[in-house]
Amino acid sequence: MSGHHPGTLALVGGREWGEGCTFDADLLAASGATEVVVLPTAAAYEHPQRAVERATAWFGGLGASVRGLPVLARTDAEDDDLAEVVRGARFVYLADGSAMHLRSVLKQSKVWHALDQAWEGGAVVAGSGAGAMVLGDPMIDPRGGAFTIGLALIELVAVLPAASSWSAERLRRTVSLCPASVALAAIDEATALVRDPSGAWSVSGVGAVEVHVGGRVADLSALPG
């Protein structure tokens, strides 16, 4: 995809919108926006409004407002008005929760196509935990650590969030199952793996990101540009 420059992409390892998430100020600046559109879809069964409230408090401290979009079920994701809000957004943030629910709600939906269009148009897109997992393809199936289909905003990247909470054995198994062509990014909580519009990757926040390709630890340049 040389010559093609969508907006900034941030893959966050979890524990978003809190202490240590220094990258959000940078993402806000990159977006040029004063409003963040938050999709609490992954938290549909776990008090989605609380996710929106946490985001509102956090971004309020950074001088921005939050618009929580009630995309909680498949019918919401096919709503023209909700899709229009996402299409016009400059900063879209997918909350943490259930990756499988998030994927089933958004897959090939109007809201998903709108998010893709917003990103292609230069908007900042961020996802935390489950929200980060679905943005790649393939996606780790949280039920067992094997691989399944993600939404593929970015291809050949698989996200393993909250990496420090994984046992060495579980991590080894997932690395061994990862297709050789895929870069597996193990991202700590309150840590962001950020791809800027030029295709360059960087790490920000309190923790680390470890990239695995073909069963070996690689550096950030192994991620697709």
pLDDT tens sequence for the chain (225 residues): 344 579 999 999 999 999 999 999 999 999 999 999 999 999 999 999 999 999 999 999 999 999 999 999 999 999 999 999 999 999 999 999 999 999 999 999 999 999 999 999 999 999 999 999 999 999 999 887 789 999 999 999 999 999 999 888 888 999 999 999 999 999 999 999 999 999 999 999 999 999 999 999 999 999 998
pLDDT tens per residue across span 141-176: 988 778 999 999 999 999 999 999 988 888 899 999
Domain boundaries, the chain: 9-222
What is the spatial distance between Cα 79 and Cα 1, in angstroms, rounded to a whole number?
31
Strands in 55-213 per DSSP E: 65-68, 91-94, 124-128, 139-140, 147-148, 157-160, 183-187, 191-195, 201-205, 209-213
Return the structure tokens found at 184. 């597996």
pTM of the model: 0.96
Q: Class of the 9-222 domain?
A: alpha beta
